[in-house]
């Protein structure tokens, strides 16, 4: 299958890329990794008149890990971030999620920011960004804006990108002290889109009681679903936090759809099972982190 005809633009600087995008407006699409866009074009599900190839804009290929979090440039590949030790140290959930993304050959080419801009609710990285309260930086000729994850995903395959804008980076906040994360999912085959998936974050207070607990669900609605279950399991030690009840809350909030791969009810059931497992694992990791920080044992 072949894509419909298009004009190819290959800017060599960010300014040039933004100029081209401003000129082509809604008729242009950005090409970075191309792992989602090219198949859509080949199947004639997308037909941009202009393809703005940013792969020569070297300034966008970077990963910066600092005390506050990890900023990932638009050309940073999945594999690059997956192998980044500094990024994993600042936010371990990134590596855990990336290992579940498709297959190595896809991760070698696909980009982190491109996955976010694709805004697929069945993908892992949108759920991670939403769970962590991250953001996406959008640039256009004349200015930039930072869009929080909760506002960036507006619908299935619908990011908050305006014509002429380019997603130049994404920011993933650092893991707080005495906190842990986990990511669990079920797919028919490794590398397939998940039938259901849950990323979890649990943070403990100084008395080693649950201070914060959240879960972000994959394939559970039109956008990544984030459920705060702190009210259900908070102010209690992890071993008595009631994770099954917290998982029930997550399951009831899920709004999956039936498709050729699974029924909505089965996806909802999986979401509950995975939520409990992920929350328990995150709580266990939080205890281990607290022990390491205090120099003792949990």
Q: What's 37's domain CATH number? A: 3.30.465.10
Rounded CA gap, 228 and 188, in Å? 28
Residue-wise pLDDT for 90-115, tens only, equals 999 999 999 999 999 999 999 999 99
What residues are paired with 179 via a beta bridge?
203
pLDDT at 295 over 90: no
CA-based end-to-end distance of the chain: 57
- Tell me if 258 sits within 8 A of 264, measured CB to CB: yes
Domain termination site, one of 120, 155, 175: 175
Residues 32, 127 share a domain = yes
Residue 244, token pair as written in the block: 């099954």
Sign for the pseudo-dihedral over CA of 25, 31, 36, 42: positive
Query: CATH number for the domain including 241?
Result: 3.30.390.50
Q: Are residues 169 and 249 in the same domain?
A: no
In this structure, is residue 90 part of a structural domain?
yes
Phi–psi pair at 194, nearest 5 degrees: -70, 140
Q: Looking at 141, 175, 209, which one is the last position of a domain?
A: 175
Considering the domain architecture, whether residues 58 and 123 belong to the same structural domain is answered as: yes
Could you tell me the residue range of the domain that residue 188 belongs to? 179-291
Residue 106 counted as domain residue: yes
Dihedral angle over CA of 86, 92, 96, 101, nearest 10? -60
The verdict on 144 and 217 lying in the same domain is no
Same domain, 149 and 264: no
- Statement to judge: residues 14 and 105 lie in one domain: yes
125 and 156 both lie in a single domain: yes
Same domain, 209 and 285: yes
Percent of the chain with pLDDT over 70: 99
The pLDDT value given to residue 187: 95
Residues 224 and 264 in one domain: yes
pLDDT at 176: 97
Q: What is the DSSP letter of 59?
A: G
Tokens of 157: 């395959």
* Exposure string for 205-214, b = 16+ CB within 10 A, e = fewer: eeebebbbbb
Instruction: At 226, list the tokens.
Output: 């984030």
Mean residue pLDDT of the chain comes to 97
Helix (H) or strand (E) holding 136: strand 135-140
Position 190 scores a pLDDT of 86
Indicate the pLDDT class of residue 1, thresholds 50, 70 and 90.
Answer: confident
Tell me how far apart the alpha carbons of residues 213 and 193 are, in angstroms, rounded to a whole number. Answer: 25
Question: pLDDT tens, 47-67?
Answer: 999 999 999 999 999 999 999
Interval 118-176: pLDDT, tens = 999 999 999 999 999 999 999 999 999 999 999 999 999 999 999 999 999 999 999 99
Q: Is residue 297 part of a domain?
A: no
Q: What is the per-residue pLDDT across 13-56, written as a single tens digit (0 to 9) for each?
A: 999 999 999 999 999 999 999 999 999 999 999 999 999 999 99
Q: Into how many domains does the chain fold? A: 2
Instruction: Mark which of 158, 175, 192 sits at the end of a domain.
Output: 175
26 assigned to some structural domain: yes
* C-alpha span between 102 and 183 (Å, rounded): 15
The mean pLDDT of 264-287, rounded to a whole number, is 98
Q: Are residues 212 and 122 in the same domain?
A: no
Average pLDDT value for residue range 275-283: 98
Residue 294's Cβ-side half-sphere holds a number of Cα atoms within 13 Å equal to 14
pLDDT tens per residue across span 189-236: 988 999 999 999 999 999 999 999 999 999 999 999 999 999 999 999
- Asked if residue 298 is part of any domain, the answer here is no
Per-residue pLDDT, 201: 98
Domain shared by 240 and 132, yes or no: no
Q: Residue 22 falls within a domain, yes or no? A: yes
- Would you list the DSSP string of 144-161? EEEEEHHHHEEETTEESP
Q: Inform me whether the pLDDT recorded for 297 exceeds 60.
A: no
Angle separating helix axes 264-294 and 243-253, nearest 10 degrees? 140
Say whether both 155 and 213 belong to one domain. Answer: no
């Amino acid at each position: 299958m072949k894509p419909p005809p298009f004009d190819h633009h290959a800017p060599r600087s960010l300014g040039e890329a933004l100029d081209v995008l401003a000129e082509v407006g809604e008729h242009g699409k950005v090409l970075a990794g191309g792992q989602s866009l090219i198949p859509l074009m080949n199947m004639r599900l997308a037909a941009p008149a202009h393809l703005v190839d940013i792969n020569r804009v070297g300034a966008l290929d970077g990963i910066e890990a600092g005390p506050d979090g990890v900023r990932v440039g638009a050309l940073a590949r999945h594999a690059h971030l997956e192998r980044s030790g500094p990024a994993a140290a600042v936010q371990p959930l990134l590596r855990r999620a990336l290992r579940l993304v498709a297959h190595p050959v896809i991760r070698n080419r696909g980009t982190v920011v491109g996955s976010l801009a694709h805004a697929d609710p069945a993908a892992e990285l949108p759920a991670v960004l939403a769970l962590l309260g991250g953001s996406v930086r959008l640039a256009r000729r004349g200015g930039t804006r930072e869009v929080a994850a909760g506002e960036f995903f507006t619908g299935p395959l619908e990011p908050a990108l305006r014509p002429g804008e380019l997603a130049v980076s994404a920011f993933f906040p650092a893991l707080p002290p005495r906190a842990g994360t986990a990511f669990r999912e079920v797919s028919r085959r490794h590398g397939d889109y998940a039938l259901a998936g849950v990323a979890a974050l649990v943070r403990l207070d100084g008395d080693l009681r649950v201070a914060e607990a959240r879960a972000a669900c994959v394939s559970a609605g039109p956008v990544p679903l984030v459920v705060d279950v702190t009210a259900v399991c908070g102010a209690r030690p992890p071993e008595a936090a009631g994770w099954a009840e917290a998982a029930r809350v997550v399951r009831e909030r899920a709004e999956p759809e039936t498709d050729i791969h699974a029924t909505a009810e089965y996806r909802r059931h999986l979401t509950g099972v995975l939520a409990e497992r992920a929350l328990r694992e995150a709580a266990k990791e939080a205890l281990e982190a607290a022990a390491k920080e205090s120099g003792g044992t949990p």
